[in-house]
Structure 1
Amino acid sequence: MDRNLPAEVLIKRKTKFISGLILTAGLLVALTILLRNLTVESVHVNSVMIAKVDEGEMLITFTAAGKVVPLYEEAVISPVSSRILRILHQPGQWVEKGSKLLEIDIDSQQFEYERLKTEYEQTRNQHQRLEIDILKKEAQAWHNHQLLVKKIETLRIEHEHEQYLLSIGGISMDRVNKLTTELSTAKLELENSNQQLAYSKKITVLELESLKLNLNIHGNRLKEMEMLLTRARLEAPLSGTVSFLLNQPGASVAPGEVVARISDLSSYQVEAVVGDSYANQLLVGQEVLVRTGRDELKGQVAHIAPSVQEGVLNFGILLQDASHPKLRPNMKVEIRVVVTHIENAERIRIGEFYKGPGQYDLFVVNGNTAQKRKVRLGGASFSHIEVISGLNPNERVITSNMNSYSQTDKIGVKGNRDRVTGE
Structure 2
Amino acid sequence: MDTVVPRKSRKNKYLIIGLPLFLLAGYFVFSSVTKKRSLDVKKNEITIKTVENNYFEDFIVFQAKVEPLNSMLLNVVEGGSIQEIFVENGSFVQKGQFLARLYNPNTELGYMTQETAMIEQINNLNKAKLDLRTQELNLMKDLVAIEHDFLDAKSLYDLNQKLFKEEILSKNEWEKTQENFRFQKERKNIIQQSVQKEKQANAIQISQINQSQNIMQKSLEILRSNKKNFLVTAPLAGRLSSFEPILGKNYLAGESIGKIDVMKGYKLMADVDEFYLEKISVGQKGEIEYKNQIVKVEVTKVIPEIKTGKFQVELNFVEAKDLDLRQGLSFGVRLLLSEKTKTTVLSKGSFNQDTAGEWIFVVNGNQAVRRKIKLGRENPLYYEVLEGLKSDEKVITSSYKDYKNIEILNLQ
* TM-score bin (small chain): 0.5 to 0.7
Q: CA deviation at 1:403?
A: 3.2
2:75 to 70, 74, 77: 77
Q: 1:274-299: CA deviations, max 9, x gaps?
A: 537844x654x331536679977522
Q: CA deviation at 1:245?
A: 1.6
For residue 317 of structure 2, what is the aligned residue in structure 1?
320
Q: Is the 8 A contact 1:84 1:250 kept in 2?
A: yes
Q: 2:116, 2:61 → 1: CA distance? A: 59
Q: Is the 8 A contact 2:37 2:408 kept in 1?
A: no
Letter paired with 2:223: R
Give the 5 Å matches for 1:12-411: 12=17, 15-16=20-21, 19=24, 33=38, 36-37=39-40, 39=41, 42=43, 47-55=47-55, 58=57, 60=58, 68=65, 70-71=67-68, 72-85=70-83, 93-97=90-94, 102=100, 104-106=102-104, 128=126, 130-142=128-140, 144-145=142-143, 169=167, 171=169, 172=171, 173-174=174-175, 175-226=177-228, 228-231=229-232, 238-247=237-246, 249-263=247-261, 267-275=266-274, 278-279=277-278, 283=281, 285-289=282-286, 298-305=297-304, 309=306, 314-320=311-317, 329=328, 336=335, 338=337, 340-341=338-339, 344-346=341-343, 348=345, 351-352=348-349, 360-362=358-360, 374-381=372-379, 386-390=384-388, 394-395=391-392, 398=395, 400-404=397-401, 405-407=403-405
Percent identical across equivalent pairs? 10
Q: Is the 8 A contact 1:120 1:219 kept in 2?
A: no
TM-score of the pair, normalised by structure 2: 0.67
**Structure 2: segments with no counterpart, 5+ residues:** 1-8
Change (3 A) 1:206 1:114: closer
Q: Is the 8 A contact 1:66 1:332 kept in 2?
A: yes
Q: Is the 8 A contact 1:370 1:412 kept in 2?
A: yes
Q: 2:199, 2:363 → 1: CA distance? A: 109
**Structure 1: segments with no counterpart, 5+ residues:** 415-423
Change (3 A) 1:366 1:22: closer
Structure (1 or 2) with the larger CA radius of gyration: 2
Pairs aligned (count): 388
Q: CA deviation at 1:178?
A: 3.0
Letter paired with 2:238: S
| Secondary structure class of the residue paired with 2:348 | coil
Q: CA deviation at 1:317?
A: 1.4
Q: 2:317, 2:376 → 1: CA distance? A: 28
Q: CA deviation at 1:303?
A: 4.5
Letter paired with 1:7: K
Q: CA deviation at 1:320?
A: 1.4
